Amino acid sequence: MRRIGFALLGVWLLLLLARAPIAAPAFPSVTGRREQTTLTVFAAASLTEAFSAIGQEFAAANPDVKVAFNFAGSQRLAQQIAEGAPADVFASADNRQMETIIAAGRITSGTQRTFVRNRLVVITPDDNPAALTSLADLATPGVKIVFAAPEVPVGQYSVDFLEKADGSLGAGYKEAVLANVASYEENVRAVLAKVTLGEADAGIVYTSDITRDAGDWVLRFDIPDPLNTIATYPIAPLKDSTHGAVAQRFIDYVLAAEGQAILVQYGFIGIE
């Protein structure tokens, strides 16, 4: 009888244990780990080195953020954004492309800020195959010139220079120079590449394009202030960005002393 009692007690204990909640195994807490945000920045090709450096410094100061850049001609970037490409920040080399995105409804008018400026310079390969000695020589028949396309900011700025110089650098200067243009490139870096490789006798780029390594491969002819164009670069967050606060944090960094110092280091004209 006692054996039967012990057996029934054992069955009752097993049933009780089966109904009892099972404690979850202990694991190290991961609540302190922060998920990294990827910030997508569309930026003009002329900003490649400077913004890459700014991105590294910004990420170091904001370890929860990874900055992903898309560098191209401003007109190409504007087209991509207008067609719906996902982006958080747009940094253009001119106001015209920024206005295009505002008109497309993806940037709110008034949120754009001028963050840096630039200026034009004429360059030749370091051996100067056309033996140019002045800006007037660009009109000499047979000189092979490469420009950015007119829809590219630096391409339009180049045409503006020719219009200002027309007459002061010789009768018919603009038409003569344009007659020497062998190709129109999709961004300023393509112009720089063709000149440094010796595929053209001359081209027009930004001064920021030749302040570092490229400066060892080209000669420069400065364009005087009355004929030059000071390029204005605007930056703005995208209205539909899913990381609006982080986008504004990046823009604030670009506008702050740290970002401005990097831009000036790479040959740009800082804002006052």
Looking at the chain, the number of H-run helices and the number of E-run strands are 9, 10
Looking at residue 10, what is its pLDDT? 43
CA–CA dist 211, 226 (Å, integer)? 22
One-letter-per-residue 3-state SS of 84-134? CCCCCEEECCCHHHHHHHHHCCCCCCCCCEEEEEECEEEEEECCCCCCCCC
All structural domains of the chain with their residue ranges:
37-117+232-265, 120-222
| pLDDT digit string (tens) for the chain, length 272 residues | 444 443 433 433 333 334 444 333 333 434 445 689 999 999 999 999 999 999 999 999 999 999 999 999 999 999 999 999 999 999 999 999 999 999 999 999 999 999 999 999 999 999 999 999 999 999 999 999 999 999 999 999 999 999 999 989 988 999 999 999 999 999 999 999 999 999 999 999 999 999 777 767 899 999 999 999 999 999 999 999 999 999 999 999 999 999 999 999 999 999 97
pLDDT number for residue 35: 82
pLDDT at 5: 43
The CATH H-level (homologous superfamily) assignment of domain 120-222 is Periplasmic binding protein-like II (3.40.190.10)
Of 5, 146, 148, nearest in space to 72 by CA: 148
Supply the pLDDT for residue 236: 98
Q: What is the pLDDT of residue 105?
A: 97
pLDDT tens per residue, range 207-231 = 999 977 776 789 999 999 999 999 9
Q: What is the dihedral of CA 200, 43, 234, 207, to 10 degrees?
A: -30
Cα distance between residue 76 and residue 82, in whole Å: 10
**Which H, E and C letters describe 151-168, residue by residue?**
CCHHHHHHHHHHHHHCEC
- Asked if domains 37-117+232-265 and 120-222 share a fold, the reply is yes
Going along the chain, which residue ranges are E strands?
Answer: 37-44, 65-72, 89-91, 113-118, 120-125, 145-148, 181-185, 202-206, 218-222, 231-237
CATH class of 37-117+232-265: alpha beta
**pLDDT tens track for 49-100:** 999 999 999 999 999 999 999 999 999 999 999 999 999 999 999 999 999 9
pLDDT at 34: 64
